[in-house]
Structure 1
Amino acid sequence: MVEKIAPATRSRMMASIKGKNTAPERAVRRMLHTLGFRFRIHRRDLPGKPDIVLPRHRLAILVHGCFWHRHPGCRFATTPKTNAPFWQAKFQNNIRRDMEALGQLDEAGWRTLVVWECSVKADAQGKSGLPRLLQQAIASQKRHLQIPKAIPRRRNTRSKN
């Protein structure tokens, strides 16, 4: 089925998508606050303006949307069919900018943690154990960390007899 939306309406809809204080970002901040961590948000003095910064742990947390930042193998990382060259260029630019920011944060001595939107959504359903993973990531001494992709539910393999 072809969707019929006027270009002006589509442009207005896309322009209304927020880049800061998104629902996944707010959910991660709530989890961190519940766990007793104190943080700063959107520090302009750091490369890439990380979404959440824990200065005491020298950890920058980037909450990435699966669509915009192209989470590999994620069902939310779809590509629009219309104007495909534009979208490919946009996605490649986002990925390049993300890699540059991670590299600059590393050079500045910051540890980084990437939290994907799908893992936050899975945690809302109680599937991913995200608070525990956040605590482990903060305690870890590794330089670059990623919260793993949400674990898909197993299908019921029992036969219906």
Structure 2
Amino acid sequence: MDIVTPDRRSRMMASIRGKNTKPEMAVRRLVHGLGFRFRLHRRDLPGSPDLAFPRLRKVIFVHGCFWHRHPGCRFAYTPKSNIEFWLTKLNTNMRRDALMQQALVEADWEVLIVWECEVSDLVALSRKVLSFLTGSADPSCTPRTRQENSHAYKCAVPGSVPRAEAAGRRVDRP
């Protein structure tokens, strides 16, 4: 038995966004800050990925833990009211996600799923995204700050030489 009226429930469900959610916007800001450009919600691709990188043939989906049933996540619970409806709905979402991912892989696209709960740790998320987009698993890679001239990422590798010095140019240090 539901604790709210059907009309109220309908309004509540209608207010839930499918695009431009807070987690998606956070991932978009992060990826943009890392220096990558992307296309949004490509309807010509299976599942309309949240972010698409056509030249890389890679896509990122930002999934809500509840709606897409993040395994082992405390946010992926089943509501206590109307259990049969919710199990059907959420299992259908999971089956659709798997089919869309399979279709993308068969079309030679690589797929990354970012879960809503992962957005709270931007350092770990930036490493995960960088690893996916660049193939580098360098844990020292972090996004540049605005003060450091954004639109790129930096990797502080011990013993590495800055690009200007490697090219033989003089670098003044404070």
Q: If the length of structure 2 is used for normalisation, what is the TM-score? A: 0.74
SS at 2:66's partner residue? helix
Write the deviation string for residues 19-65 of structure 1: whole angstroms up to 9, x where unpaired: 01111011000001000000000001100100100112110101100
Report the Cα distance in structure 2 between the residues aligned to 1:65 and 1:50, rounded to whole angstroms.
14
Partner of 2:115: 116
Report the Cα distance in structure 2 between the residues aligned to 1:131 and 1:99, rounded to whole angstroms.
24
Contact 2:2–2:81, Cα closer than 8 Å, also in 1: no
SS at 1:57's partner residue? coil
Matches within 5 A, 1:116-135: 116-123=115-122, 129-135=124-130
Following superposition, the deviation at residue 3 of structure 1 comes to: 8.2
Report the Cα distance in structure 2 between the residues aligned to 1:121 and 1:13, rounded to whole angstroms.
25
Report the Cα distance in structure 2 between the residues aligned to 1:63 and 1:70, rounded to whole angstroms.
13
Runs of 4+ in 1 over 6 A off after TM superposition: none
CA radius of gyration, larger in: 2
Partner of 1:54: 53
Q: 2:47 corresponds to which letter in structure 1?
A: G
Following superposition, the deviation at residue 93 of structure 1 comes to: 0.5
Alignment RMSD (CA, Å):
1.7
Report the Cα distance in structure 2 between the residues aligned to 1:5 and 1:88, rounded to whole angstroms.
20
Report the Cα distance in structure 1 between the residues aligned to 2:89 and 2:59, rounded to whole angstroms.
24
Partner of 2:103: 104
Q: 2:53 corresponds to which letter in structure 1?
A: L
Matches within 5 A, 1:136-151: 136-140=131-135
Partner of 2:77: 78
How many residues end up aligned between the 2 structures? 136
Q: 2:50 corresponds to which letter in structure 1?
A: D
Report the Cα distance in structure 2 between the residues aligned to 1:86 and 1:122, rounded to whole angstroms.
33
Report the Cα distance in structure 2 between the residues aligned to 1:83 and 1:122, rounded to whole angstroms.
33
Q: Sequence identity of aligned pairs in percent?
A: 57
Q: 1:7 corresponds to which letter in structure 2?
A: P
Matches within 5 A, 1:4-83: 4-83=3-82
Contact 2:2–2:82, Cα closer than 8 Å, also in 1: no
Report the Cα distance in structure 2 between the residues aligned to 1:66 and 1:39, rounded to whole angstroms.
23
List runs of 5+ in structure 2 lacking aligned partners. 137-174
List runs of 5+ in structure 1 lacking aligned partners. 142-161
Q: 1:29 corresponds to which letter in structure 2?
A: R
Report the Cα distance in structure 2 between the residues aligned to 1:15 and 1:78, rounded to whole angstroms.
20
